[in-house]
Structure 1
Amino acid sequence: MMKNVKILLFFFGFAAVMVLLFGWGLPVVFQLFLHNDYIRSLTLLVVFSMVVLVKRLNWSTYLVFAVALFSFLGMMIDTAGNPITNKPLEWIVSPIGQLQLDQDVNNYAPGQYVISDKLSILKPGGEAVMLSTVWLYLYRCAQYLVLYSIVGTLLAAIRGSKPERWPVPAATVDETLTPDMEQRVAAELKRREAASTTLRVLPEEVQEHVRQLKKDGKLILAIKLVRQHTDMPLGEAKRYVEEM
């Protein structure tokens, strides 16, 4: 019974969140994007900054792809721009006339919008010259390329100057040995000392015999003889005979 109640509560909670999100939240956000000149640019800049910081991007780790992607998104989403980002474009066309940039938003049906951008230059004589929107797209793409390149470089430098994580303090270790540990250490030292005194040198008469076998071309017999009188492994005995 309680399991079914929990399932129903979860379902109604999920439905309430979806209603609030799609019935109130998204329309508000969409209206801000349509009618606020600064929200689009600011949102793109914030998202780009978060991606660079979280992913620790720089020019050697795919920052160029992030710059290209967000420049394309800015060109498509923020085509009309705002008074600040349009200032350079106004200065460019100022020798010809005054820049006229209009954006029309037509709502044909609930949830169906058509957005059109119009770019024109109003000459001093009152004549309006319509320009292709392609120029506006090219300008916006170039503007975002420059902006995101600068912002990405600064953020990468700031992020790279910070340590990856806070240093972990070294834990203190009790170096006092128990009697049992001291006995084990002493036994290990004796074992190593005994191992270091193993036979590695051939007696003189055996050396003469090995030299004779090597001289006669009987290397295998010479190696076997060396191994019989020492504890050398095969490889070491072979090198010993070859170097004699």
Structure 2
Amino acid sequence: MKTIHINCDLGEGGKYDAQLMPHISACNIACGGHAGDAETMLKTVSLAMENKVEIGAHPSYPDRENFGRQSLDISEKELKRSIQEQLFLLAEIVKKQGGKLTHIKPHGALYNDAARDEKIAQTVLDAILESGLDLMLYAPENSMISRLAEGKIPVLFEAFADRNYNPNFSLVSRAKNNALITQKEAVFKHLYSMFFKGEIVCEKSIKIPSRAATFCLHSDTPNSVEILEYLVEKFHALNIKITKP
């Protein structure tokens, strides 16, 4: 039986966490930068442990007003401090619950900026390395942060099941109408190409190779539960199991 690793960004104030959690391999929990607080972190950690789901940190630029989806002009020192504060807060909650923090995945603009900007990528990396936490990094292929992390932090290449791509591995801007893929059949087709064929079909049908080992579905997509349940059904028919720890 083949297995597929599915991750989801949770603890962001969405309505569907409890419905999504049973079907995924890993969750990336908002830890106060763009969303979340101690109460939501505790609730999400408990839900993850109940469903035997890997627990990861989802730090962001400290910008709740824009949900962390806009680049923030702050110093490297401020950014590193913010990332570590977010990490330590979640790590302490996980520890108190008897769980294990397994990975880190930057959120939104920080994720995109660290993929292409060397200074930001190095700042994120330094924040992780200096935290003393033993974490795996979720990052896009062909990204600055994945190259800088080589030999320092284990990296799991990630691709998005519900986002369209540009030929340079970057995501189509959310400002464009086709940034999100919301039709469940289209999400499966996109994911099938990445998982089975090892290629991402970009705009204008351009294909690029993919080595992604984990695939993200956004929890704030209005029909995310419907999409995930459809994927589970399709995987089952193909004798594919969603991995669990």
Q: Is the structural similarity TM-score above 0.5?
A: no
Q: TM-score, normalised by structure 2?
A: 0.20
Q: TM-score, normalised by structure 1?
A: 0.21
Q: Which has the higher helix share?
A: 1
- Higher relative contact order (CA closer than 8 Å, sequence separation 6+): 2
